[in-house]
Structure 1
């Protein structure tokens, strides 16, 4: 009898093991088992019909910058191979001079914040293959002058110019000081919210350098303890303007290289303003600068005559909510310019003459332009990306400067993105969908027809197919209030409509964001597939306030962040709860950052709808978040106290009934751990039981080593136990 039982046990155990091998695991997901192949550091050349890619040779553990021909996709040359230059440990990124004869290579990169970093740079002459170390110090943002004779860069908050012929480095600012004065590099809040680091720009002939100076000496400081490995913690202290607090004072300056003199530009009688973009026009002595008020609902585009220092506002954008800042400003040869705006209710492309007079609205319709690729002077064609084929999709289009001859160039429904050749004859299209892994192809710019496949990821698709998971189903969910919202749902592969399933909802919900998109899986999606294998349904709904459905849909949350978004998630959960196959008593929600703010609010304010929530790195009161982002949507706490407080989850903790997991990293320079500490104290004083996890020295991404694996194991176990 014992032998028979033992035999039966072995058979069952073996069978279960075989089945288990087809189950997704967190170790696979976070170990990179579903990583896709791409084209790293793809750059289109400007002078030849070619492009470069940064490749890695695993056999020799060396890196190459390879040059390819657009027309044939054949490799033309290897511009540099690190195995031939032992002093070059690796290549993290690279830039060309205007003639594409020299390169600056970054190595030993050390990140500062989200976009900023320092690195050791090498100068490489492509023709002679000579490699020289540009600087023995870790510097920021080295940039060739247009004639390729000089390089401007930043070091320890000051700007420098190096003459490449003499190798002489000239310091052009001297007042740079940590946590006080920054020249030519943005402060923390500009970097995070206006999404740029290099706050300097060469003019067309390389004779002048424009830069923004930040005086942050009066900006309040934020400090973080870093525990590291030592006996005592260290402290990181940096300037961080929270909502309603003092911002850095910014000023605009022009450095004349020949005269070695700097002048400050008088932009006018602005009070408490931003300079979110500067860019030289096609004229060497005319600089453009965008100036915004603190509410960010008024933007002036200045043209500055740098010979006289006089300025003229050539364009003004106003909005009852806010004006988006983009990188789409493009100057044509005659200094007329292309601009994108939401002023007709949807983001579209406009053409203005050199004086700022509107010549033409080039695109029009109840859909959004989502990327501007460029203008071909020869054919007078503009190339762009839009959601005309549905707000969850992206397509590549061409249109003439006069607004005629519009053509859809991408062929497949999903997410398409283009990198055009210098002469706009070809483009490399990157395509993916919920069922197709990233696919790179060479396409004809006139017809959009695919010429040749470059790279695909059938192996990843085949690997995922072995797990037999059901892909996302896209649909429009209509709430009882009549709001039609984009949504997707993932069901177990063996889904049975007669059964009842627990539901986990995911969302982000931030202004202008999108999570319901017809594109290939992110890492979280594999986690959702894993949960579906365990008998859960996972869904995502983009509520009001999210993007790509017009300005009215996106900006309806103005001055009330967290009100309508929470309402929509609760209402969506109620719709799901009426599905015959959803167990309405087992609905959970989770999110990260803004999504954590939302998940907390949904559980507290929707206590009768949601059973469980996980909030990772959440904002818990917009009073604790930065000035530029928060005030764009909320104005200041002094002006809108009720908007801040009525929608803060801290003020709703007494309503908690379900299961709550709160997660944060102590070195989060973006959403400070202060947010979670304040929430924890509020929950404690409300005598509410909850779970929490703190990750020492981890930033907003909470990663490094086994961190993500441990975090997702914790969240998985929490869901299995509490939902």
Structure 2
């Protein structure tokens, strides 16, 4: 009845659009991409100071000095070149000033834009993946199944590895994408050697996922190393193209169960630098290896921590001085900063001397300036700075408040500044490296102007330790301060995820606004453990995930309850993944606050989560039994008082089904009622059209039990 009433209200609001603005449909709230500010995908044309982007006419070029525009390639011309019938321009990248790269139907095309013809075509065997290009060698490395191959400029393929044991995986991501790892293939700068990860998963336990798409169902097993159990064994091979021989680096600092990340070739291609991290993730060595022999040359320096060391990026060598490199870490001075070292490991200077987290952007070819994004103005903003390498003098280059995304030109003479804020949907500016704006390339109008949105507030409150906690608050549509409204508390709370930023609409998910349009106050707050606040703010969660985070979240709710228009008896909470863990933690630990909860893909007990992430924040169950017991939600099942719905992808390879099913089993044992809804063919995140069903399910649950 309530849902029918809600639908009637929604329809009546939408009929008379001439009198008032629109409300979102559920489909718009989930897949309404037109509701978000969209900017041109602007790229630099190789190292040439010319901008390129797609327009109705095709691929456009625009000079930086006069802004003169030209059509580089139309869709019709591209179709002629490819022998295709494309309706629009596909994704592309620039190999150099004149060569466009397009992947299509198992081939990668290098297109000469001036001559409007295919310069080179690489056609890969069926099943090829992870194609990685060497510009110096004009070759592609790629994988098929668990082995590694490469293709030369003539289209001939060669085998690098030939492991028949499927437990041995070459050239692919290792360590489940942690530690900044995004790939497993590393070409040397001269194109004569090919570095690659080799992963031995023979000791890792399998976890079965049920595929119901076959006539009788089928179990598909994945390798899933759970906390405290056997993990993968990673090594780094270097394949010499000329000799067709592979040498493995002698990287055994902490035994076989360790992590290798930040893989960086020396500019001369004779050395490989690796950040070797122990399984406990509290001790890292930056090692230099001879690429030809695999022998350890030296340990340049080490980093240790009482909590964890978390390397996230490789080294950046100065183009004008290959004997020096830039290294980033938050383990020295409490914040993620940049440091200049020589190739022997000696610290030359701290480049970014600021008590804020920074992110490397670029260093100019002359090695004079380093450009970086920083949260020093505010943790909810990203601003561009540059620092002079020699003097340490820094300058702020972006002045408008908000979150700036930067694309530097090849010579660092210009940058494209793509930014938004709570006030600005999106602006894209062409800017000189001094910070002077040359011209505005695009100004995106408010895509929500035809919709009746509730008021969005970005603010902060104080945590128990005096630090700032930033929140996003959405008031109901047509807000009346004399009414009392139910609350939807959306939560994530885990590391590496900042929900509240000074961006357009404060980075809300459109479903939040949907709920505000239907009479809910929606509240989001970033707790301790989230990024851009320094190491101490982040790693306070160590060995006790969820505990400090809950206190911060409840601090926000207690503040919210101080307003007379908040109905303290109707507060619901919703989150996914770490947010699902937080959701169940909150409703079981604070039953007097939360009446209704919807948890998606929740971690229930960290002993069932994977090694790399889980052991960083919790150590192993053997090392931290008290912490695992305290944070486990199994023991909390008996304490559930309110209404709880758990949603789970049945083929989730991230938070495996064992987690939520174990909680359900414990509820049954204790005669505690709980609701459960699996998505049979979904992985960790329910995507596509299924997600519309999911969010309607979540909405219905709050409508049924929170109204």
* TM-score normalised to structure 2 length: 0.91
Show structure 2 runs of 5+ residues with no match: 1-7
Partner of 2:300: 314
Change beyond 3 A, Cα 1:314–1:684? same
Alignment map for 1:27-426 (pairs within 5 Å) = 27-32=27-32, 33-40=34-41, 42-53=42-53, 55=54, 66-72=60-66, 74-78=68-72, 81=75, 82-84=78-80, 85-87=82-84, 93-94=91-92, 96-97=94-95, 99=96, 102=99, 104-108=101-105, 120-126=107-113, 127=115, 129-130=117-118, 132-164=121-153, 166-175=154-163, 177-178=165-166, 180-187=167-174, 190-228=175-213, 230-271=214-255, 272-311=257-296, 312-327=298-313, 329-332=315-318, 333-342=321-330, 343-369=332-358, 371-378=359-366, 380-402=368-390, 404-426=392-414
Q: 2:4 maps to which residue?
A: none
- Structure 1 residues 92, 335: CA separation in 2 closer, same or farther (over 3 Å shift)? farther
Secondary structure of the equivalent of 2:169? strand
Deviates more, 1:590-599 or 1:302-311: 302-311
* Structure 2 residue corresponding to 1:477, chosen from 431, 444, 461: 461
Q: Kindly tell me: are residues 269 and 425 of structure 1, through their superposed partners in 2, closer, same or farther at Cα, counting changes over 3 Å? A: closer
1:117-169 CA-to-partner distances (Å, cap 9, x unmatched) read xx5534545556126352242312222323243222222222222221x3221
Residue 22 (structure 2) aligns with: 22
Match of 2:3 in 1: none
CA distance in 2, matches of 1:31, 1:475: 28
Post-superposition shift, 1:453? 2.1
Contact 1:91 1:107 in 2 (8 A): no
Other-structure match for 1:434: 422
* Contact 2:48 2:97 survives alignment (8 Å): no
Q: Distance in 1 between matches of 2:249 and 2:351?
A: 33
Is contact 2:574-2:580 (8 Å) kept?
yes
Stretch of structure 1 that moved more, 319-328 or 68-77: 68-77
Is the partner of 2:504 in helix, strand or coil?
Answer: coil
Distance verdict in 2 for CA 1:481–1:688, change over 3 Å: farther
Match of 2:518 in 1: 534
**Secondary structure of 1:719 counterpart:** helix
Question: CA 1:51 to 1:259, structure 2 compared with 1: closer, same or farther past 3 Å?
Answer: farther
- For residue 103 of structure 1, report the CA deviation from its aligned partner: 5.2
CA spacing shift, 1:100–1:147, aligned 2, 3 Å? farther
Residues 144-153 or 640-649, more deviating: 144-153
Q: Counterpart of 1:722?
A: 705
1:445 aligns with 2:433: yes
Which of 542, 559, 567 is the matching residue for 1:558? 542
Unaligned runs of 5+ in 1: 1-9, 109-118
Q: 1:27 to 1:498 in 2, by over 3 A?
A: same
**CA–CA distance in structure 1, aligned partners of residues 509 and 666 of structure 2:** 33
Query: What per-residue deviation string (whole Å, max 9, x for no partner) do you get for residues 31-73 of structure 1?
Result: 4241432334x543443223444x486x9xxxx6555444455
Displacement after TM superposition at 1:381 (Å)? 0.7
State the aligned residue count. Answer: 684
Q: TM-score, normalised by structure 1?
A: 0.89
Q: Is the 8 A contact 1:156 1:177 kept in 2?
A: no
Q: Distance in 1 between matches of 2:99 and 2:232?
A: 36
Preserved contact between residue 190 and residue 268 of structure 2 (Cα < 8 Å): no
The reply to whether residue 514 of structure 1 matches residue 492 of structure 2 is: no
DSSP-derived class of the 1:267 partner: coil
Deviation for aligned residue 1:658: 1.0
Cα gap change, 1:394/1:623 in structure 2, threshold over 3 Å: closer, same or farther?
same
